[in-house]
Structure 1
Amino acid sequence: PGKYDAIEHHFVHQNREVREEGISYFSDTYYYKGSGGQVEGEATGGLPGAAPVARAPYRLAPSKMKELAEQLKELSDKGFVRPSSSPWGALVLFVKKKDGSFRMYRELNKLTVKNRYPLPRIDDLFDQLQGSSVYSKIDLRSGYHQLRIREEDIPKTAFRTRYGHYEFQVMPFGL
């Protein structure tokens, strides 16, 4: 073992303790598979009194029908969607991702009012890190699924497919 091995071992061990302490301290905010997160979010900022919009599903190619069935099963198994009886029902389309796979895209209602909350500037964020000695990062794959939707907003996320009528319990992509 070289002289740097002991330093590396100490550094890795020390960081593990800090990481585990942080995970323990913030355990109520972490996402666990199937939980859909603990933080609630508003699904839509729709116009008050707006009538529900519902459309019949598009016809899809057999390959897209297979993809839809697989994605619905995965979303259902994780507890992200559930069967719906909502009067709302958006269309489902597929958008090709950079890696060649397909993302299920729920057509958004024209009634949705966009949240215009300003995002922080990256240079301001870096300024806030100045003087820090420990840095970490997290990659929130499908991070929008970390937000659970308020119960009263869940029906507004409903979508119709040839396989049934579903609604999101967590924030869907694009909303």
Structure 2
Amino acid sequence: MRNILKYHRSIFLGDGNAAPAPARGVVYDLDVGDAKPVAQRSRSVAPHLSMKVYELIKKLLEKGLVEHSESPWASPIVIVLKKNGVDIRMCIDYRVVNMFINLSNYPLLLIDDLIIGFESAMWFMSLDMASGFWAIRMTERAKLISAFVCPFGHFQWVRMPLD
């Protein structure tokens, strides 16, 4: 097992939320049917958090996770302090967009059914996909719908956001 992990070490991340390499064969799409785009206004950010938001947006741009947008869609950001009371988490209020999304009906396996399959296993490994959602590319349509607005501009996701 150690040799396998060592051979594939490039796909594992170190500390922090590094941007993983894009997944192959997987693309995320959003279907809003013929809904008219909704562009909401930016919400204010507390002055003492502004610089942190700016730095976060800058990092997301540098990592290629977001890009500047001219989308007719725009959802506002909401800033939440992490448990340590210092770091921030940028959330996006997609409640309006969510009203238009056509959900797909894809049956997921039940956890109990998955566990039964492990009963004869000799080994079991649990891996955490750190920032794994950022590995999923988005279609052009999904990028436009994912657009968000903040005091620093209008942006859209290139990779799937956590929200």
Q: Aligned pair count?
A: 153
Q: 1:34 to 1:16 in 2, by over 3 A?
A: closer
For residues 52-71 of structure 1, what are the structure 2 equivalents within 5 Å? 52-71=37-56
Partner of 1:107: 93
Q: CA deviation at 1:62?
A: 1.1
Partner of 2:153: 164
Structure 1 unaligned spans of 5+ = 1-14
- RMSD over aligned CA atoms reads 2.5
Q: CA deviation at 1:41?
A: 1.2
- Correspondence for 1:41 among 28, 33, 38: 28
Give runs of ≥4 in structure 1 deviating > 6 Å.
none
Contact 1:89 1:158 in 2 (8 A): yes
Please say if 1:145 is aligned against 2:131: no
For residues 7-26 of structure 1, what are the structure 2 equivalents within 5 Å? 15-20=1-6, 23=8
Find the aligned partners of 2:149 and 2:12 in 1 and give their Cα distance: 27
Find the aligned partners of 2:6 and 2:107 in 1 and give their Cα distance: 33
Contact 1:97 1:103 in 2 (8 A): yes
Find the aligned partners of 2:103 and 2:84 in 1 and give their Cα distance: 28
Find the aligned partners of 2:104 and 2:138 in 1 and give their Cα distance: 15
Contact 1:34 1:77 in 2 (8 A): no
Q: 1:63 to 1:120 in 2, by over 3 A?
A: farther
The one-character-per-residue Cα deviations of 1:104-134 (angstroms, maximum 9, x if unpaired) are 1111113223455444322222111122223
Q: 1:62 to 1:139 in 2, by over 3 A?
A: same
When Rg is computed on C-alpha atoms for both structures, the one with the higher figure is: 1
Residue 53 of structure 1 aligns to a residue in which SS? coil
Partner of 1:50: 35
Structure 2 unaligned spans of 5+ = 14-18
* Structure possessing the higher relative contact order (Cα contacts under 8 Å, 6 or more residues apart): 2
Percent identity of paired positions between Structure 1 and Structure 2 = 28
Q: CA deviation at 1:88?
A: 1.0
- Correspondence for 2:123 among 127, 134, 141: 134
Q: TM-score, normalised by structure 1?
A: 0.74
- Give the letter for the 2:39 counterpart: A
Q: CA deviation at 1:138?
A: 1.4
Q: CA deviation at 1:159?
A: 0.9
Q: Which moved more, 1:144-153 or 1:75-84?
A: 144-153
Residue 129 of structure 1 aligns to a residue in which SS? coil
